[in-house]
């Protein structure tokens, strides 16, 4: 992606460019993450798992407890948690169409657990992402924070947003990654305490819905 809509002299250019680097790397990281995960599984099991073994392994790991704290600390780590969700979704969808009733039952169990995990984790991921964005934009006097139920809204406040074209330009650049983290809305104000704001509706689904970045 390129910053076609933001002039290089615009105070938003620097921080938007940094965030775009994260956007551009996400799809590559998704593919790398899948490959690395598969390689790790194969190396520890001595080969590819059967569909049943794969489901049982994922259910066992969830039941024993997954340490999601390892998916904190960097934007890349947050994105890798999204990769995990998509891998689970792939396993579930492939198993749901199996002709084996036992595999279908295991798929339903895994789906239920993954839905519960996503309901818990997505609000945390949104909060974490907003914190990183706030650090990037702080130097240009732009405040970023979440609000609403389950941190569903991301708010941008700064004098540069007195111009509608600046709001639209940044929104266009961030639309993809904000959708990936399932923000319901992005809201722009040009000063703190302003009761009025410009907003964009982003993700309309539920956090529990299985992840698919290829839609």
Kindly report, residue by residue over 80-108, the tens digit of the pLDDT. 999 999 999 999 999 999 999 999 999 99
Angle at 113 (CA atoms; ends 107, 119), nearest 5 degrees: 130
Percent of the chain with pLDDT over 90: 67
pLDDT at position 15 over 80:
no
The SS3 call for residue 12 is: coil
Which has more confidence, 213 or 189?
Answer: 189
CA distance 63 to 54: 14
Interval 16-44 mean pLDDT: 46
Higher pLDDT, 182 or 40: 182
Domain coordinates in residue numbering, the chain:
13-201
If one compares 14 and 108, the residue with the highest pLDDT of the two is 108
Q: What is the mean pLDDT of residues 192-215?
A: 92
Instruction: Give pTM, 2 decimals.
Output: 0.79
pLDDT grade for 48, boundaries at 50, 70 and 90: low
Position 25 scores a pLDDT of 46
């Amino acid at each position: 992606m390129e910053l076609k809509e933001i002039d290089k002299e615009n105070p938003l250019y620097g921080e938007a460019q940094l965030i775009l680097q994260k956007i551009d790397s996400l799809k590559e990281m998704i593919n790398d993450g899948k490959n690395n995960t598969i390689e790790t599984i194969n190396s520890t099991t001595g080969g590819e798992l059967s569909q049943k073994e794969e489901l049982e392994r994922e259910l066992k790991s969830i039941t024993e407890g997954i340490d999601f704290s390892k998916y904190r600390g960097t934007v890349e780590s947050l994105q890798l948690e999204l990769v995990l969700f998509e891998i689970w979704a792939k396993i579930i969808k492939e198993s749901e169409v199996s002709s084996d009733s036992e595999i279908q039952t295991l798929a339903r169990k895994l789906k239920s657990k993954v839905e519960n995990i996503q309901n818990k984790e997505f609000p945390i991921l949104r909060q974490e992402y907003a914190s990183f964005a706030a650090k990037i934009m702080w130097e240009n006097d732009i405040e970023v924070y979440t609000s609403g139920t389950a941190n569903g809204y991301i708010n941008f406040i700064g004098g540069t947003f007195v111009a509608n074209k600046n709001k639209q330009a940044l929104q266009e650049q961030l639309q993809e990654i904000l959708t990936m983290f399932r923000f319901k809305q992005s809201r722009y104000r040009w000063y703190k305490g302003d009761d009025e704001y410009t907003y964009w509706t982003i993700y309309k689904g539920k956090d529990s819905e299985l992840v698919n970045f290829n839609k």
